[in-house]
Amino acid sequence: MTSVRQPSSGRVEGGSTPYRFASRVRFLHWFGSVLATAWLSLALAACGHQKPKATPAAQGPARSVTTAEVRRSAEGEATVPAIVQARQRATLSARIPASVVELPFREGERVELGAVVVRLDDAALRSAVSAAEAGVKAAETDQARIDALFQQGAATAREADEATARAASSRAALQAARDSLAYAVLRAPFAGIVTSRPVNVGDVVSPGRPLIEVEGEGSYEVVASLDADLAGATRVGGALQVAVDGQPAPLTGTVRALSPAGDPSTHRFEVRADLPPKGGLRSGLFARLLLPAAGGDARLSVPKSALFERGGLNGVFVVSEGKARLRWIAVGASQGGDTEVRSGLEAGERVVLNPQDLTDGAPVQEVR
């Protein structure tokens, strides 16, 4: 019987299998540690050779800048919308039914006092005048004949009175015909500028239809409506500040008229103030009355030169702890060299004037 020899303790010639397996695991573990250490060393070395990028704010010495303080108005102020109008305005309308035969002036052209600005067809009116003149002549002839007969006793007093009445009626009809003929020609009531001409040659117009509008030159006013509180504090002859679009600074107006009664629907009072002669004024410009009001809100303002615009947003640079800090703000109306600030700033903060090429966080030194 053949016996099979069993290996003792699991050992075979050439070394045991578990021992070789463990040695390989320890080698792989050591090799992996070496690779990881080498890779980390290379990465740290590479990072160590990269210099951190300096921000623009940290480059160079502190920049000298001129600053201004965010100002708050000393008292409350109410802003009332208004409109600029010419003090002399005339809208000439048709007073008779007729067709337009002549319009010698266009919008924007200057007219002199008494110049013909519209002429209507007057052929029928001239015929009416001729007929009225013939009627007057016949009536006066008949009156003279009846008066002579009455003096001779051949006519009654009633016949004489009727002849006199017919003659007077004929003369009145002639005057009416002449007046109608005069309505066919419209003349400028004063020297000025044609601002509107809503009709054309050949149009048939009826009584009451506007034909042309003329405005005087060099004399303008603002018209606005005030609530009861503001109207009570306004006096005829008093001065008020008026900000007009296109004018660099507010104008000083003089209150010329204040409605004694309010509008029943709006409960507001109309005020008119004369404006001083100033180039650039035109009818229709938007204006704002700047009226002191105890209950009005105090306003913040900054110089226009402190503002800049980026992507449709308005911003300023506020000086804080020796650095320029970018601040986006909401602005309001501009008056003179200042612009109203509605949000984004506080009274007393200092903003940089003319902040060209300035960056957020840049070191600055104020020059006041």
- The DSSP symbol for 28 reads H
Distance (Å, rounded) from C-alpha 246 to C-alpha 286? 9
Amino acid letter, residue 327: R
Q: What is the pLDDT of residue 250?
A: 84
| C-alpha R_g of the chain | 48
> For residue 99, what pLDDT is reported?
94
Contact indicator for 111, 189 with CB cutoff of 8 Å = no
- Among 241, 103, 113, which residue's Cα sits nearest to residue 187? 113
SS (H, E, C) 122-168: CHHHHHHHHHHHHHHHHHHHHHHHHHHHHHHCCCCHHHHHHHHHHHH
* Run of H or E including 222: strand 220-226
Cα separation, 78 vs 254, whole angstroms: 17
Q: What is d(CA 190, CA 117) in angstroms, rounded to the nearest whole number? A: 11
Q: Give the separation between CA 274 and CA 245, rounded to whole angstroms.
A: 16
Q: What is the pTM of this model?
A: 0.53
Identify whether the C-beta of residue 82 lies closer than 8 Å to the C-beta of residue 275. Answer: no
The DSSP symbol for 24 reads H
pLDDT at 75: 57
Walk me through the domains of the chain, giving residue ranges and CATH numbers.
63-73+298-367 (2.40.420.20), 78-87+219-292 (2.40.30.170), 91-214 (2.40.50.100)
Digitized pLDDT (tens) for each residue of the chain, 368 residues in all: 444 444 444 444 444 445 455 556 565 555 556 555 555 455 444 444 444 344 444 456 888 899 988 887 655 667 889 999 998 899 999 999 999 999 999 998 999 999 999 999 999 999 999 999 999 999 999 999 999 998 988 889 999 999 999 999 999 999 999 998 999 999 999 999 999 999 999 999 999 999 999 998 878 999 999 988 888 888 899 888 898 988 878 889 999 999 988 888 888 999 999 999 888 888 889 998 888 765 555 678 888 899 999 888 999 999 998 899 999 999 877 766 788 888 899 888 999 999 988 999 999 988 76
